[in-house]
Amino acid sequence: MSDLTENDKLKAEQLARVIDLNAKLLSNAASTYAYNKINNLLLMQVLAKIENRDLEEIRNNVERYIAQFTDEYLKKNS
C-alpha cells in the first residue's frame, strides 16, 4: 500500500513539474511574441520615416508577408 502511495506522490510531483514547465514556456512565448510585435512596429516606423512612406502601407505589406511566410511554414511542416 505504501508503494502505491509513494508512486502516486512521484507521479504528482512529476505532473506538477510538467505543468510548471508548460506555464514557463507559455509565458516565454507570450513575452517573445510581444517583444517581436513591438520591434516590428518600431522598425516599420523607422522605415516609414527613412523612406518618407505611409506607415499604414508598410504595416499592411509586413502583415501580408508575415501571413504568407506563416502559410508557407505551416504547409512545409505539416
pLDDT tens over the chain, length 78 residues: 566 788 888 899 999 999 999 999 888 888 888 888 888 888 888 888 888 888 888 888 888 888 888 888 888 887
Q: Indicate the pTM of the whole model.
A: 0.53
Q: Cell numbers of 4, please?
A: 502505491
Amino acid type, 72: E
Distance CA 35, CA 12 (A): 34
Q: How far apart are CA 10 and CA 16, in angstroms?
A: 10
E strands, 1-78, in order: none
